[in-house]
Amino acid sequence: MAGCCNHNARFDGVSADYKRRLWLVIAINAAMFAVEMGAGQMSGSQALKADALDFLGDALTYGISLAVIGATLRTRALAALGKGVSLLLMGIWVFGSTVYQVFYVGVPQAEIMGVIGFMALAANLISVMLLARYKDGDANVRSVWLCSRNDAIGNVAVMIAALGVWGTATGWPDLVVAGIMAGLFLNSAFQILTQAVREWREEEAHAHAH
């Protein structure tokens, strides 16, 4: 793995093994987006829809990650900035739609939420295990890890929401979880944007020094 000998070097994704793992994770995310969005519509669950949107965002951003592997640090930082902004927008959308749902609260189907949440968790745990050895890298690589980790946390939250909906016979647990997931998106967006800006500035400073 890059950076083993030089602790200041950040792994930049240039590895055939990493690319293979990333392709697998893209396929998993794309498939789960279709499954979870359909289930979210059927069950009326805002948390499932939020998680499905996360799967779609991940599949698209992982594709960007693949496209810029081996590019200059500036290009990779720019790609990470784009992914950070997309996460920020997703967080705002989920938060806004959750607030809207507060004024029109229906009771989602807890059984569908639980089953699909468990499937999604299994898919994301596989993704996390595939990417775990590459979690410490540049902003581009790190954004992939953070997205996968967020998904696994989100799936556990969806199953907790399903249990809450079943136990209370109200839609409030579903909305609370959707709100928490929005916060998670926003927090990850901040982390990715901060690192991407730092790497962009490092590249600028390096360019000026030469």
pLDDT in tens, 95-145: 777 776 666 656 677 788 888 888 888 988 898 888 877 777 767 677 777
Residue 11 has phi, psi (to 5 degrees) of -60, 130
Q: Find, among 41, 46, 167, the residue nearest to 100 by Cα.
A: 46
Q: Is the pLDDT of residue 2 over 50?
A: no
Mean pLDDT check: name the lowest of 15-29, 44-58, 137-151, 192-206: 137-151
CA dihedral 92, 108, 117, 64 (to 10 degrees): -30
Q: What is the pTM of this model?
A: 0.68
Q: Is the pLDDT of residue 209 over 80?
A: no
Which pLDDT value is given to residue 4?
30
pLDDT average, residue stretch 15-19: 82
Which pLDDT value is given to residue 157?
79
Please name the residues in contact with 186: beta carbons below 8 A apart, sequence gap of 6 or more. Answer: 87, 88, 91, 92, 95
Q: Is the pLDDT of residue 54 over 70?
A: yes
CA–CA dist 122, 116 (Å, integer): 10
Q: Please, what is the average pLDDT of the chain?
A: 78
Q: Is the pLDDT of residue 178 over 70?
A: yes
Burial class (CB in 10 A: 0-12, 13-18, 19+), 70: exposed
Where does the pLDDT of residue 33 fall: very low under 50, low under 70, confident under 90, or very high at 90 and above? very high
Q: Is the pLDDT of residue 56 over 80?
A: yes
- All structural domains of the chain, each given as residue ranges with its CATH number in brackets, are 16-209 (1.20.1510)
Which pLDDT value is given to residue 30?
92
